[in-house]
Chain A
Amino acid sequence: MATIELKKVEKRFGDFQAVKPLDLTIHDGEFVVLLGPSGCGKTTTLRMISGLESVSTGNILIAGRDVTWRHPSDRDIAFVFQLYALYPHMSVEKNITFPLEAEKASPQLIQDRLNHVIDLLQIKHLLPLKPGSLSGGDKQRVALGRALVRQPAAFLMDEPLGALDADFREKMRGEIKKVHIAEKATTVYVTHDQIEAMAMGDRIVVMSAAEVQQIGTPDEVYHDPSNLFVARFIGSPGMNLLPGRYADGAIHLPPDLHYKVAADHQPAVTGVIGRDGDIVLGFRPEAARIHEDGALAGEVYASDLHGAYRVLHVSVGDEVVHIRSERQVGHKIGSSVRFDIDPTMARLFDPRSGRSIRREVSQA
């Protein structure tokens, strides 16, 4: 297993910039998820690491070796494709051992590795079958097996669960994670499903418009998004964002609401916005508390029961915010509610740059 380093890696197709210069280090044994909407450059990035796509500028190092211009077969990586790409004319067994035959491995080694993989993935019964007769989940298990059997320096996975049914996806998510832990495998995983990214990643690289928006742990990306895009994209629903005006330590929101910014947050805000300026107040649905004396208010627009909790859609001025509330308490549509925001979970953004305005952490 190995460290993967991307240094100023860039991809251009003619005039179109598919991936803007990107620096990223994926540590040994780490599970890194490239997350973003379609067309954001995440798959191109993965394909550049694999060597299936050439880089326009920059360098790629795997285990300290510069592989920028090496053939894919010479990078010691395994790739799992979204549509499995199992060789249809070979049996499952042949499919799995195919990479080892490229290395001219001894029959004994091939047998040992095969046994290891089929034990790990529980696919012994599939060995004589052709891929065409397998279910989607089994195909993906076999594709994983083919990736694992070579014990490569890194695994690259391109939306491997994208073609599976929802409940099966959850099961395979667990299996991939289990395999990752068992093999201590450096893994780069591409997905557009942020729930998958949160559940699986040690770190998440959020990409949009050919650019990295934020690199961080799932916790950081969720609770401390670095800009408005990440705030909106992560979470379902995404973060509530209310544009308003900052003045005198408070945010004034239409129609006539005032949210007092926590005292320790104010210096940072004045640093970025000044004493008076436009600002965006962000908060997660679970950061809001319905409260009779709440500082903010709105009208219930819709109320969805999610089983364990309820999500209220509340219109505040022209915006609709989502608030997680207790399932037992019903709110009539059209009734007005007041709520507060947990001050530690309130996030502020500069609408001009889109960037988050973080609290200045006092250095101890």
Chain B
Amino acid sequence: MSNFEQNGPGFPVTESIRVDKVSPRARLSHALRAIVVIIVAIIMLVPIFVMGLTAFKSRSDVVAIPPKIIFEPTLEGFVFLLTNRSQLRGEALEEAKANIDNVGIFERIAITNGQSITGPSDFIKRLGNSVIIAFGATAASVVLGLLAAYAFSRFDIPGKDDLMFFILSGRMLPAVVVTIPIFLMYRQLGLYDTHLGMIIVYTVFNLSLTVWLLKGFIDEIPVEYEEAALVDGYSRFQAFTKIVLPQAATGIAATTVFSLIFVWNEYAFALMLTSETARTAPPAIATMLGRGGIEWSAIAAGTLAFLIPVLIVIFALRRHLLRGVTFGAIRQ
């Protein structure tokens, strides 16, 4: 029929990442892999899903066996989380019940449980502390880490390798080991239970991570860009801010998220080095377990609220993150 030789795979091509051909069997294995990934993802998400459900369950639904998937949602957990209440008895309870239509939704839930709200709980304050300390420490360790990483990447520093290893060693001891010496030092320095103290300890602990990560990213940026800026009339620092920073944006975003997640979730230092003014959310949520009966819905509500700020940051930086975690894979 045709007078030229026919090349090619000799069967239909349905999907290909190269010009190489993908057989139906390969498609099947693609599908299988996708199914496995979906199953793993579901397994990973179950605890979060359960937590989300629990936060909106009533006291009786929380402990129901088998666990209820369909139930009447209530804000009980959030009321328990965010308020301090006192038990109402006798006449006072009767009076409150009579007045129930004239009060807000939180008060109404409290009264249904035979309680009245005496004031806000300190959970918001704990969350606020977490935000201040996490963002403060992350900003400090990323800024300092950037400057150090730039110097390590670009200048001839005597003993560079030893110094880099020394910086890494800051992370080798687990937090639990160093909390007691730090506790003793902080008590003397007046840094115990202060925001500044917590920001310092997290910054120091995180610097090893940020310096190493950012050095990798900055190493990837060709030095010619800065040299071009230098001969174009800019100082070294201007070249750093105008050329290096924009190009390291991806790496900075990835480093910021790693650093933030670590500080946000940190428990051991926070438990040992704070008591009241600077106490963060993780130890606060954990201590809820200990107060009388365990309010599972309040704990779930607290954990849910605790997730939100980090989710916002990751969502805001997601575009950079995807490129950041694959860095080195694609040279621009």
Contact indicator B233/A73 (Cβ below 8 Å): yes
| Total chain B interface residues with beta-carbon distance under 8 A | 17
B243 to A, closest residue via Cβ:
A87
On chain A, the residues within 8 Å of B246 by CB distance are: 89
Interface residues of B in 219-240 (CB under 8 A from A): 222, 224-225, 227-235, 238
- CB interface residues, A 127-145, toward B, < 8 Å: 132
Q: Are B228 and A73 in contact (CB under 8 A)?
A: no
B14 on the interface (CB 8 Å rule)? Answer: no
User: Do residues A85 and B228 form an inter-chain contact, with CB atoms below 8 A?
Assistant: yes
Q: How far is the CA of A85 from the CA of B332 in the complex (A)?
A: 12
Bound Cα distance A86, B222 (Å): 11
* Closest Cβ neighbor of B239 among chain A residues: A73
The residues of A that contact B238 with a CB separation of less than 8 Å are: 102
Bound-state Cα–Cα, A173 to B222, Å: 26
A sample of 7 more A-B contacts (CB under 8 A), given A52-B230, A73-B233, A79-B231, is: A73-B230, A78-B231, A79-B227, A81-B224, A83-B222, A85-B225, A102-B232
Rounded to whole angstroms, the CA-CA distance of A171 and B225 in the bound complex is 26
**Contacting pair A85 B227 (CB below 8 A):** yes
With both beta carbons as reference points, the residue of chain B lying nearest to A102 in the complex is identified as B233
Interface residue? B303 (CB, 8 A): no
List 8 A–B pairs whose Cβ atoms lie within 8 Å, in order of A's numbering.
A72-B227, A72-B231, A73-B233, A73-B234, A77-B231, A81-B228, A83-B222, A103-B233
Cross-chain contact B247 with A146 (CB below 8 angstroms): no
What residues make up the interface of B, taking CB atoms closer than 8 Å to A?
Answer: 222, 224-225, 227-235, 238, 243, 246-247, 332
Contact between A150 and B232 (Cβ–Cβ < 8 Å)? yes
How near does chain B come to A318, taking the closest CB pair, in angstroms?
A: 46
Separation in Å of the A190 CB from the closest CB of chain B? Answer: 14
**Most A Cβ at <10 Å: residue of B230, B243, B247:** B230
CB–CB B234/A79 < 8 A: no
Of the residues B230, B232, B332, contact of A146 by C-beta under 8 Å: B232
Q: Are A150 and B233 in contact (CB under 8 A)?
A: yes
How close is A157's CB to chain B, nearest CB, in angstroms? 12
Looking at the assembled complex, report how far the CB atom of A279 sits from the nearest CB atom of chain B, in whole angstroms: 47
Measured between alpha carbons, how far is A88 from B224 in the docked complex, in Å? 12
With the chains together, A99 CA to B232 CA distance in Å? 5
Q: For residue A87, which residues in chain B have a CB less than 8 angstroms away from its CB?
A: 225, 228-229, 243
Chain B residues within 8 Å of A73, by CB: 230-235
Closest-CB distance, B223 to chain A (whole angstroms): 9
The list of the 3 closest CB pairs from A to B, nearest first, reads A102-B233, A85-B224, A99-B232
B130 to chain A, nearest CB (A): 34
Which positions 262-299 of chain A face chain B at CB distance < 8 Å? none
Nearest chain B CB to A322's CB is how many angstroms away? 39
Question: Shortest distance in angstroms between A133's beta carbon and chain B's nearest beta carbon?
Answer: 12
Query: Interface size of A by Cβ–Cβ distance < 8 Å?
Result: 25
Inter-chain CA distance A199–B207, complex, in Å, is 54
Q: Does B233 lie within 8 Å of A132, measured CB to CB? A: no
Is the Cβ of A88 less than 8 Å from the Cβ of B247?
A: yes
Residues of the B chain whose Cβ atoms lie less than 8 Å from the Cβ of A146: 228, 232
User: Which residues of A does B touch, CB under 8 Å?
Assistant: 50-52, 71-73, 75, 77-79, 81, 83, 85-89, 98-99, 102-103, 132, 146, 150, 156
Q: In this complex, which of A50, A51, A73, A102 has the most chain B Cβ atoms within 10 angstroms of its Cβ?
A: A73
- Shortest distance between the CB of A207 and any CB in chain B (Å): 21
Residues from chain B with Cβ under 8 Å of A89 in the complex: 246-247
Contact between chains at A102 and B231 (CB < 8 Å):
no
Q: Within 8 Å CB of A86, what residues of B?
A: 228
How far, in angstroms, from A52 to B247 measured CA to CA in the complex?
21
Contact of A71 among B224, B225, B235 (CB under 8 A): B235
A308 to B88 alpha-carbon distance, docked (Å): 111
Chain B residues whose CB sits within 8 angstroms of the CB of A156 once the complex forms: 231
Please give, as numbers and ranges, the residues of chain B lying within 8 Å of A75 by CB-CB distance. Answer: 231
For A81, list chain B residues within 8 Å (CB).
224, 227-228
- Distance in angstroms from B187 CB to nearest chain A CB is 48
- Least distance between A160 CB and chain B CB atoms (Å): 12
| Min CB–CB distance A325 → chain B (angstroms) | 43
Complex alpha-carbon distance, A99 and B229, angstroms: 8
Closest to B245 in A: A89
Contacts of A71 in B (CB 8 A): 230, 235
Q: How far is the CA of A100 from the CA of B250 in the complex (A)?
A: 28
Inter-subunit contact A51/B247 (CB<8 Å): no
**Which of B222, B228, B230, B238 is packed against the most chain A CB atoms within 10 Å?**
B228
Q: What A residues does B232 contact at CB under 8 A? A: 73, 78, 98-99, 102, 146, 150
A102, B224: Cβ atoms under 8 Å? no
Closest-CB distance, A106 to chain B (whole angstroms): 16
Q: A88-B247, A89-B246, A89-B247 are in contact. Are A99 and B233 (CB under 8 A)?
A: yes
Residues of B contacting A72 in the complex (Cβ-Cβ under 8 angstroms): 227, 230-231
Q: Which residues of A contact B227 (CB under 8 A)?
A: 52, 72, 79, 81, 85
List residues of chain A with CB within 8 A of the CB of B332.
88, 132
B247: nearest residue on chain A (CB-CB)?
Answer: A89
Q: Nearest CB to that of A131 among chain B residues?
A: B332
A75 CA to B230 CA in the complex, in Å? Answer: 10
Which residues of A lie under 8 Å from residue B247 when comparing CB positions? 88-89
Residue of B nearest to A82 (CB): B224
What is the CA–CA distance of A78 and B231 in the complex, to the nearest angstrom?
6
Q: State in angstroms the CA–CA spacing of A142 and B238 once bound together.
A: 22
CA distance A132 to B238 in the complex (A): 23
Find the B residue at minimum CB distance from A104. B233
Q: A52 to chain B: which residues have CB within 8 Å?
A: 227, 230-231
Cβ contact within 8 Å between B233 and A50 = no
Give the residues in chain B near A77, CB-CB below 8 Å: 231
Q: How far is the CB of A24 from chain B (nearest CB, A)?
A: 20
Q: Which residues of B contact A79 (CB under 8 A)?
A: 227-228, 231
Which of B230, B232, B247, B332 has most chain A Cβ within 10 Å?
B232
Q: How distant is the Cα of A99 from the Cα of B227 in the complex, in angstroms?
A: 12
A216 to chain B, nearest CB (A): 29
Residues of A within 8 A of B235 (CB): 71, 73
